Amino acid sequence: MLNLLPPALRPYCLVLPLLLAAPAFAQTPVEKIVYVGSISIAPCQDAKVLADWYAKLGLVTKEYQGGYYCMLTTPAGPMFFGIHPRKADAPKKSSGSVSVVLRCENYAASIAAVKSRGLVPDSTETDPTEGQFAHFHDPDGNEVTLWGQ
């Protein structure tokens, strides 16, 4: 479906439905949220470097017109992940304001897997009711957390 849109509109195809549904979000209680529909990182410093880093976490992307994208199937529906290439008029450095929390089924196995791929958490924490968290920062300075039991 993305191929049918003009290239300039493709990055917005995931955001537009959210904007159109904004009034409904104001009325939806937090407990009704069932999954993350998409996460986009834009602009990034080097899309390939970022894609390789996220592959170590298990988010394997495919290159498309300079960006890297993947779709994860969840019980509630698809979740899209996109790393958009830096545009000529983009700021020199990302603000580091993107925060991504990835829920994992088996925390210990997930941490072992990412460590075997060369990633070490910046910090970890355990909450008796919420579970365990491992905090990372991607090459652009965005916070990424693995969360599980």
The 10s digit of each residue's pLDDT in 51-69 is 999 999 999 999 988 889 9
Q: CA-CA distance, 136 to 149, in Å (whole number)? A: 18
From the options 3.10.180.10, 3.40.30.10, 3.60.21.10, 3.20.20.70, give the CATH code of 2-148. Answer: 3.10.180.10
Q: Which residue has the tokens 């829920």?
A: 103
Average pLDDT, the chain: 76
Q: Which residue has the tokens 């994860």?
A: 72
- Would the pTM count as exceeding 0.75? no
pLDDT for 66 = 83
Flag whether pLDDT at 32 surpasses 50.
Answer: no
pLDDT for 28 = 42
Q: Please, are residues 98 and 143 in contact by the beta-carbon 8 Å criterion?
A: yes
Residue ranges of domains in the chain? 2-148
